[in-house]
Amino acid sequence: MIGYASNTGTKRNLAALLASGWRIMLTPDNPIEREGLKHCIDNGAWGCHQKGIPFQPEPFERLVDKSAVRADFIVLPDIVGGGGNSLALSISWLPRLRGYRSLLLPVQDGMDPKAVLAILRAWPHLGIFLGGSTEYKLSTMHDWGVAAASLGRWYHVARVNSRRRIRMAAHCGATSFDGTSATRFSCTLPLLDAARRQPNLFAPQVYRKGGIQ
């Protein structure tokens, strides 16, 4: 399972992430690539939600234009807790981003799983990004893992900041996860990394299409 840490400019933390094989998540608020570290791109909707403002498309588009060609995946724009409105927003961005190799569809509280699966079947290179509230995430994590495995898609679990949550993500068949703990508290990285590396024989079959580089 791949671990993505929140982006940082602290050299000590970057060296620790690199040595442990972690990657970083770029956002419109912190878009700087770091030498030697692979990255993914988040859309910045969570940061906007925390600030109490609508999603800002322009900074996200600038980040995509600059760094998407080297990214492991791009998270489609969404609305935190937005249900069907969030799904509609994500779908509207598919034509704009379809040329990139891997896109993840955020799933949020209130979404219709059948509608999500219909979109995934129509877009063969689209994976799943599990966002939403903590309650929603914990109650649906395994179901989305089974869905991703059945379609052979990348499955990412957002905001994973403890060994327990990492083990849960692994049990549910996650390809990857992200969190802030490894960046904010580098002393926790060895414990988090040990949990990341622990195999789980009972998880749904993980993403294998093309391998994970």
Residue 213 is assigned to a structural domain of this protein: no
Q: Identity (one letter) of the amino acid at 14?
A: L
Separation in Å, CA 53 to CA 61, 112, 197: 17, 25, 37
Q: Identity (one letter) of the amino acid at 120?
A: L
| pLDDT for residue 204 | 82
Residue 209 is assigned to a structural domain of this protein: no
Residue 80 is assigned to a structural domain of this protein: yes
Residue 36 is assigned to a structural domain of this protein: yes
Q: Is residue 201 pLDDT above 60, yes or no?
A: yes
| pLDDT for residue 212 | 33
CATH code of 145's domain:
3.20.20.105
Measure the CA–CA gap between 184 and 207, rounded to whole angstroms. Answer: 29
Predicted confidence (pLDDT) per residue in 120-152, tens digit: 999 999 999 999 999 999 999 999 999 999 999
- Domain count across the chain: 1
Separate counts of helices (H) and strands (E) for the chain: 10, 8
Which residues face 128 on adjacent strands?
A: 105, 155
Question: What percentage of the chain reaches a pLDDT higher than 90?
Answer: 84
Residue 211 is assigned to a structural domain of this protein: no
| pLDDT for residue 71 | 97
Measure the CA–CA gap between 52 and 193, rounded to whole angstroms. Answer: 33
| pLDDT for residue 126 | 97
Predicted confidence (pLDDT) per residue in 79-118, tens digit: 998 999 999 999 999 999 999 989 999 999 999 999 999 9
CB distance 38 to 72 below 8 Å:
yes
> Domain limits at 121?
2-197
Residue 121 is assigned to a structural domain of this protein: yes
Alpha helices in the chain (DSSP H): 11-20, 45-51, 57-67, 83-92, 94-97, 113-122, 134-151, 163-171, 181-184, 189-197
Residue 203 is assigned to a structural domain of this protein: no
Residue 210 is assigned to a structural domain of this protein: no
Measure the CA–CA gap between 42 and 24, rounded to whole angstroms. Answer: 10
SS3 93: coil
